[in-house]
């Protein structure tokens, strides 16, 4: 993509992306880490953050199973800390990617106008448009659930990276 001058627009426009789940300790920090890794490799001009709709885990590091699943892929997410989604995030971010229908409802309930609502998308629709698939909550399951989350969010992250180029 380029402007009239031929100067690539991506060098001028930083896209701000927020990933949201319930606790901000499993799915959204994994999405944060996967997309950060891809953005770094592909030199995308993006700002990335993640948040949870609940405040239950505020200040906590990602779940140890999320950390080890990601470490097995050579992605370090130990620097991330959980925080709660706030209304201000609608103005701070260009794209708000939620992991499931419940997160979608919770985030949309905080929106105060259509411009805010337009920013909110189920993350897997980037990889599987129109399917409205959820990233399943792996918290109460075993390690294989985290591996499945990794596969799904990697597919969506690669599609998102292509879209932003």
**Residue 51: Cβ within 10 Å count:** 23
What's the CA gap between 36 and 43, in Å, rounded? 10
How is residue 84 annotated by DSSP?
B
* 10 part of the interface to ligand 4NP, by CB under 6 A: no
Q: How crowded is the C-beta side of 157, counted as CA atoms within 13 Å?
A: 28
Answer for which of 21, 31, 48, 96 binds ligand 4NP (CB under 6 A) is 21
Task: Give, as ranges, the residues between 39 and 78 that touch ligand 4NP (CB under 6 A).
Answer: 52, 56
Tokens of 94: 């260009």
Shortest Å distance, C-beta 160 to ligand 4NP: 18
User: 126 or 137: whose CB is closer to ligand 4NP?
Assistant: 137
Residue pair 65/138 in contact (Cβ under 8 Å)? The answer is yes
**Between residue 103 and residue 162, which ones bind ligand 4NP under the rule CB under 6 A?**
137, 139
Contact between 36 and ligand 4NP by CB under 6 A: the answer reads no
For residue 27 the two structure tokens come to 């799915």
Residues contributing to the site for ligand 4NP (CB under 6 A): 21-27, 52, 56, 137, 139
């Amino acid at each position: 993509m380029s402007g009239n001058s031929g100067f690539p627009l991506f060098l001028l426009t930083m896209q701000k992306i927020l990933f949201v789940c319930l606790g901000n300790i499993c799915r959204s920090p994994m999405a944060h880490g996967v997309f950060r890794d891809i953005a770094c490799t592909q030199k995308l001009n993006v700002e990335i953050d993640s948040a949870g709709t609940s405040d239950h885990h505020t200040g906590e590091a990602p779940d140890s199973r999320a950390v080890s699943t990601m470490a097995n892929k050579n992605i370090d997410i130990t620097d991330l800390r959980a925080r709660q989604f706030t209304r201000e995030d609608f103005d701070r971010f260009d794209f708000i990617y939620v992991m499931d229908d419940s997160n979608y409802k919770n985030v949309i309930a905080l929106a105060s106008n259509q411009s805010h609502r337009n920013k909110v998308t189920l993350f897997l629709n980037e990889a599987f448009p129109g399917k409205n698939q959820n990233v399943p909550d792996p918290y109460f399951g075993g390690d294989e659930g985290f591996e499945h989350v990794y596969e799904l969010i990697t597919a969506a992250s690669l599609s998102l990276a292509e879209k932003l180029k």
